[in-house]
């Protein structure tokens, strides 16, 4: 009797689903420090120090600034505990240029991520607005 219940199609599917959800949540709980790491380079590929990296919200209703970090000697920047699941990054340095606005989308809030592509400072790229802007249609 117990065997028929356990081997029932519904039990297997729902059971697997429940297990998957639990495992996923355990994984998230261990990896949600919100660490976002990346590099800033210039057009020739050289790392840029003291570049300002602005992280803004990428949501359905606002583009507020989340945090601003500066790159260190190796051109790396790091955000901690940003508490978001999606954002837009833009790097800038006076005299060198601005980077494209790069979208960072995570699978869950505060997912730890290292950006594979560096942000490239280009003198020709315009700096996007930094203050909060209401996003109209997407």
- Provide the pairing of β-strand 76-79 with 36-42: antiparallel
Q: CB nearer to another protein: give 14 or 43.
A: 14
In this chain, which of 16, 46, 109, 114 binds another protein, going by CB under 8 A? 109
Contact between 99 and 119 under an 8 Å Cβ cutoff? The reply is yes
Binding of residue 66 to another protein (CB under 8 A): no
Q: What is the DSSP string of 82-122?
A: ---SEEEEEEEETTTEEPPPEEEE-SSTT--EE-SSPEEEB
In this chain, which of 30, 107, 124, 126 binds another protein, going by CB under 8 A? 107
Residue 54, Cβ density class (10 Å: 0-12 exposed, 13-18 middle, ≥19 buried): buried
Query: How many CB atoms are closer than 10 A to CB 134?
Result: 8
Binding of residue 19 to another protein (CB under 8 A): no
Report the nearest approach of another protein to the CB of residue 28 (Å).
12
Binding of residue 25 to another protein (CB under 8 A): no
Binding of residue 106 to another protein (CB under 8 A): yes
Binding of residue 60 to another protein (CB under 8 A): yes
Report d(CA 77, CA 120) in Å as an integer: 13
Q: CB nearer to another protein: give 81 or 105.
A: 105
Binding of residue 18 to another protein (CB under 8 A): no
Report d(CA 115, CA 47) in Å as an integer: 14
Binding of residue 29 to another protein (CB under 8 A): no
Residues at the interface with another protein (CB under 8 A)? 9-10, 13-14, 59-60, 85-86, 105-109, 137-138
């Amino acid at each position: 009797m117990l065997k028929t219940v356990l081997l029932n199609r519904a039990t297997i599917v729902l059971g697997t689903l429940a297990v998957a959800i639990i495992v996923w949540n355990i994984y998230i709980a261990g990896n949600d420090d919100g660490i976002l790491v990346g590099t800033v380079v210039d057009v020739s590929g050289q790392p840029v120090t003291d570049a300002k990296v602005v992280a803004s919200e990428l949501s359905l209703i606002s583009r507020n600034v989340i945090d601003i970090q500066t790159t260190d000697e190796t051109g790396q920047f790091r955000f901690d505990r940003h508490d978001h699941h999606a954002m837009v990054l833009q790097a800038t340095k006076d005299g060198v240029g601005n980077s494209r606005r790069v979208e960072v989308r995570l699978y869950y809030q505060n997912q730890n991520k290292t950006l594979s592509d560096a942000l490239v400072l280009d003198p020709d790229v315009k700096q996007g607005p930094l203050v909060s802007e209401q996003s109209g249609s997407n």
